[in-house]
Structure 1
Amino acid sequence: MQLRQLIADEFEANIELLQYAFQLKLDAERLANKRRNFKAEQFWGAFEEGSLKAQLQLIPLQLYVQGRALAMGGIANVSTWPEYRRHGHVTQLLVRVLRHMRENGQSVSCLHPFSVGFYRKFGWELYTDYKKYTIETANFPPRVATEGYVVRVGADIPLLARVYNNYASRYNGTLARDEAWWGKVLKLGSVVVYFRPDGEPAGYILYEIEKRVMTVHEMVHEDERARRALWTFIANHDSMIDKAVLEAPMDDILPFLLPNPRISQEIMPYFMARIVDAPAFVQQYAFGATGERTQISVQLIDPHAPWNEGVWHLTVAEDGRGTLAPGDPDENGSADLACDIGSWTAMLMGYRRPEELYGCGRMDGTEDAVRRLEAILPKCQTYLLDYF
């Protein structure tokens, strides 16, 4: 088996497998567009006798973690011809791209799983959920006269990016979008922006209306005044729609603010993340500045990325700067804490706390070490507005 990046001449093999695996039927126009935008270097394939048997796409992206944009490898379009499934092709591709990401400075990777259990075997772990609301017009928040104004805008990427970046950087796991990514996002619908009385933008919604349902693809607001103004805009569609459907981060308190909070709410497990390079990730991470130096030894279990495997010494300085230095192999089994890379990822992303992992058996060690780890890990809600 040969594992390598695709070349431009292999578009036909790539798109044939994608259409089969994801049951796509692309017309001539969409197929031509796919061909124009084909980035062969993003696709990794498993070949046998020169024939493509399995593939995945590795997209270079950036992810906000503790307010900092980190280089991230986004995995998508994992696909195998059915007669070659369960032959280890995807396993080998995942291991290969882990090494490639590490070599290219991508210390973390994310993906949307077809099966959580499948990707857990390779070190990815859930890192974010979201709430999905379905709200009948009778249960909308009351209209409120708000200072400022709401304006319908076109594809004003610099304007929207200002609002989005302020909002997204407050969460762990949101994308730091570039102009090309914004171009794809804005195809989803129409945009209105809320401006404060001083003319500064402070919120927007991206939405579409079809069959008397308003689907809000993104609702971004920097403060309560912006949220009220945007909901008043939505409520003014009451003669056109019967309900609104929208997604929100897990810390959203909309139901508490409603006159009738008995609305449909679903909790949707969403994306998975994986730390690719443990010491590089820690070096970029903003730990809590406790004013004291903290040292904890940690044994990481990561058989698919052996450079992460073993005992490490986590040191966090008084100002919150962290380092992860390799320990002595003789320390195996005697570290303060021990966990697999998936649990370590869920914890540093902010999805789960050390005490939760320790309590449910996903982290071993001493209670004292768990308490010290709790003290240096800032609490930050995870969220992701995008899909890939």
Structure 2
Amino acid sequence: MIEIVRLAAGDERLIRAGAHLLRNAFGGSPGGGTNDDRDARYRRSVDTAAVFAAVDGRDLLGVTSIVPYEQWFAGRALPMGGISAVAVAAHARRRGVARSLLMRAIEQMHSDGQPVSALYPSIPPAYRSFGWEVAGVLAQIDLPAARLTAAGASGPAGAGHTTDVALRALDRAEPAEDDLAAVHGLYTAAVRTAVGPLTRTGPAFTLAKLAELDGVVIASVDGVDAGYVSWSREDFPDAAPRLAVHDLIADRPDVRDALLTCAGSWQTSIGNTRIRVGDPVIGGLGLPRGAYTRHEPWMLRIVDAPAAVAGRGFGPLAADVDLEIVDPQAPWNEGRWQLSVGDGKGSLTPGGTGAVTVSARGLAAVFTGYAGAAALTSAGLADGDPAALARLAAAFAGPAPWMLDDF
């Protein structure tokens, strides 16, 4: 018999077994370390996340975690449950272990007031069967480090350019609180109007951890902070080292170019870079021929439809759509609803004619603006009056959804 239990700090046997299961499923965690180190990291996750184990007596069958995050949705932060560390033991597969864990996770997120949930899927069909759908991407670009220094020539000095960009490094030994706050403020200013980026607040984020990165450099113009870049050096046993650029945040081209040149100066010892990009920085990179862009999809699930709509920001368009939501795993979402959007806000109230029938997956894909009316129809995620479908897609339309963090 499968039982789902929530792990607590004292559940040492299950914590060690869970850490071992995750090592089997995903290999060594970033940063490597001994088994004891990895056990300790998993043990700490019990304090900051809702960690669940599927057991049959003393036998551990599977695990999953819900990490409390917030995502920006067009200027408003929405609580989000990040599903991570999902693994089922080899001997327990085809017994419904993942189904039991995910159903418990949906119920827990609903109870905890997390109206949306996101994850990075290893097996998308498994999550689709529980209402998650691809709703955004994390974009990364692989290119030579020398190309970063060449970015300084992206435009002539003149309008929007200045030679007075000052750079300072975050003190890794004793990071100044003002510098930590500056980095987070610059990140927030760049992403808050987007759809999908994490707010980087809450128990999963500690600003002091920025000092654990190999480099964080802040740029300022005339004494005003205007951007930053952060990176880590990645070494591999059988391959050349790589510079992983985590963030490149800049509000003007000359600041961006100065930060790219700074990161690219490692070209004498590190030949390749992998840079995470989002809307604020992807334009104007001047990618060379042969650069490789990789889009890693993330999936979203609407856990509480009325709360998700009420907590999201919207554009200037006004729209009203009658929906019939089909969501057997979250029955509180099912039924007929009236969607009303106007003045940058939205609401979902019971009632209406059900002019558009939309599945949980369809609602997730349209909620971020990732899927339009044609995509919803062709994928079989929504059906109904074409004009109402067009209004539904238009109500959520906006910038392409993206994240800079994985989990």
TM-score by length of 2: 0.83
Letter in 2 for 1:82: A
CA contact (8 A) 2:54 2:61 kept: yes
Residue in structure 1 matching 2:316, options 289, 293, 296: 289
CA contact (8 A) 1:3 1:46 kept: yes
Q: Which residue of 2 aligns with 1:96?
A: 104
Q: Which residue of 1 aligns with 2:34?
A: 27
Q: Which residue of 1 aligns with 2:74?
A: 66
**Alpha-carbon offset, residue 10 of structure 1:** 1.6
**Alpha-carbon offset, residue 37 of structure 1:** 2.1
**Alpha-carbon offset, residue 31 of structure 1:** 5.0
Residue in structure 2 matching 1:189, options 214, 221, 225: 214
CA contact (8 A) 1:126 1:269 kept: no
**Alpha-carbon offset, residue 282 of structure 1:** 0.9
Q: In 2, Cα distance between the equivalents of 1:218 and 1:200? A: 19
Letter in 2 for 1:101: M
Q: In 2, Cα distance between the equivalents of 1:252 and 1:356? A: 27
CA contact (8 A) 1:288 1:375 kept: no
Q: Which residue of 2 aligns with 1:244?
A: 273
Q: Which residue of 1 aligns with 2:359?
A: 340
CA contact (8 A) 1:146 1:228 kept: no
Q: Which residue of 2 aligns with 1:143?
A: 152
CA contact (8 A) 2:248 2:281 kept: no
Letter in 2 for 1:289: P
**Alpha-carbon offset, residue 38 of structure 1:** 4.7
Q: Which residue of 2 aligns with 1:153?
A: 170
- Aligned pairs for 1:1-388 within 5 A: 1-23=2-24, 24=27, 27=34, 30-31=37-38, 33-34=40-41, 37-39=44-46, 42-137=50-145, 139-140=147-148, 141-143=150-152, 146-154=163-171, 155=175, 156-178=179-201, 181=205, 182-184=207-209, 186-197=211-222, 199-209=223-233, 211=240, 213-249=242-278, 253-254=282-283, 258=286, 261-290=288-317, 294-317=319-342, 319-327=343-351, 335-358=354-377, 360-388=379-407
**Alpha-carbon offset, residue 106 of structure 1:** 0.5
Q: In 2, Cα distance between the equivalents of 1:257 and 1:17? A: 42
Q: In 1, Cα distance between the equivalents of 2:43 and 2:396? A: 45
Q: Measured at CA, do residues 378 and 147 of structure 1 come closer, stay the same or move farther in structure 2, by a change above 3 Å?
A: farther
Q: In 1, Cα distance between the equivalents of 2:248 and 2:55? A: 43
Letter in 2 for 1:168: V
Q: In 2, Cα distance between the equivalents of 1:138 and 1:282? A: 45
**Alpha-carbon offset, residue 21 of structure 1:** 3.6
SS of the aligned residue for 2:268 comes to coil
Unaligned runs of 5+ residues in structure 1 are none
CA contact (8 A) 1:129 1:383 kept: yes
CA contact (8 A) 1:113 1:271 kept: yes
Q: In 2, Cα distance between the equivalents of 1:114 and 1:232? A: 35
**Alpha-carbon offset, residue 29 of structure 1:** 5.3
Residues paired across the two proteins, number: 377
Letter in 1 for 2:276: E
Unaligned runs of 5+ residues in structure 2 are 154-161
**Alpha-carbon offset, residue 376 of structure 1:** 2.8
**Alpha-carbon offset, residue 307 of structure 1:** 1.1
SS of the aligned residue for 1:22 comes to helix
**Alpha-carbon offset, residue 142 of structure 1:** 4.1
CA contact (8 A) 2:114 2:303 kept: yes
Q: Percent identity among equivalent residues?
A: 27
